[in-house]
Structure formats: C-alpha cells, structure tokens
Amino acid sequence: MAVKNETVREVIIERTFDARREVVFKAWTDPQYLASWWCPHGFTNPVCELDLRPGGGIRLHMRGPDGTVYPMTGVYREIVEPERLVFTTTPLNEQGEPMFEILNTVTFAEDGGKTAVTVHARVVWAAAEGEVYPGGMQEGWRQSLERLAELAKQIPA
C-alpha cells in the first residue's frame, strides 16, 4: 500500500548535448538507444521496452554490477516530438509491487546546433519501503546523462 510522501523530492537537471535535437530525442524514445544510456555507470539494461504513445507503457530492467536486477515500469503521459516527454517511472520491489512513482518531464530545446535538455523528476508518492531510494535521483540522472552525452555523438542524424 502506498503512503503519501511528506517530503516530496524533486530534481531539476539541465545539460546541453553536442547533437541535434532530433538525435537527442531519438535517444530517449528508441529502446535500443535508451537501453544503452539510461542507468548509472556499471549498470546495464537487459530489458528495455517502450510503447511510445500517450498511455503507452515503459518496462526497464536495470542490472547492477553485482547482478541484481531492478525492474521499473512507467507510462507515457505526453509526447511532443522532438520537444517534450512526460512520463512516470515506478521501480518495483522483489514481489513486483511499486515502491514509489516519479513524474518526469523532459524538454528538448535547440541551442545553436546543440540540444539543451531539462529533466524535471518529482517523486509523487512512495511506499514506506521506497522512501530511501529517491535520495539517489540526482546522482543517478547525472551519471545517466553522462552516458547519453557519449551516445548522442554516435547516433546518425
């Protein structure tokens, strides 16, 4: 059962990528590309499934360096190509139950041939067991976006 999170946690990260907006947007919306960057250093994504439409689902399994798999689901709420994505992400516990939910709003702005991305991630609720995990959002996003910066240079325009 979900418990209202009294201390709402949110992260706003801005980063400029040396790639065109369409390329960076594609890296967020193509499961092949998303799987290669959406996780901290040392992690992989053996499962990455996207149903890219409002109401469509996200299913991702992050595998840690020790082999532990961290499953996550989510739902797309808004897709405005190549300007904006709004979606939820919900990490699941070992029993497959939601631990917390994050509402993510990602904007993509052209910036002289580069792309300025703003990620706004806000915890909207957390079960008691999930209270400790959102504290790592800032660092997790930082590392993931570092990986995206490298990948974006390799995606064909």
Number of folded domains that form the chain: 1
57 falls within a domain: yes
Residue 6 has pLDDT above 70, yes or no: no
Residue 89 has pLDDT above 90, yes or no: yes
Judge whether 16 and 141 are in contact, CB under 8 Å. Answer: no
The pLDDT-based confidence of 137 (bands split at 50, 70, 90) is confident
What is the domain extent for residue 124? 10-152
pLDDT tens-digit readout, 52-61: 999 999 999 9
66 falls within a domain: yes
1 falls within a domain: no
157 falls within a domain: no
Judge whether 107 and 83 are in contact, CB under 8 Å. Answer: yes
78 falls within a domain: yes
Closest CA to 153 of 27, 15, 13: 27
Among the residue ranges 10-24, 55-69, 105-119, 124-138, the one predicted with the least confidence is 124-138
- Whichever domain contains 148, its CATH number is 3.30.530.20
C-alpha to C-alpha distance for 150 and 21, rounded to whole angstroms: 15
128 falls within a domain: yes
CA dihedral 149, 19, 116, 11 (to 10 degrees): -20
2 falls within a domain: no
Residue 106 has pLDDT above 80, yes or no: yes
In the chain the first and final C-alpha atoms are separated, in Å, by 45
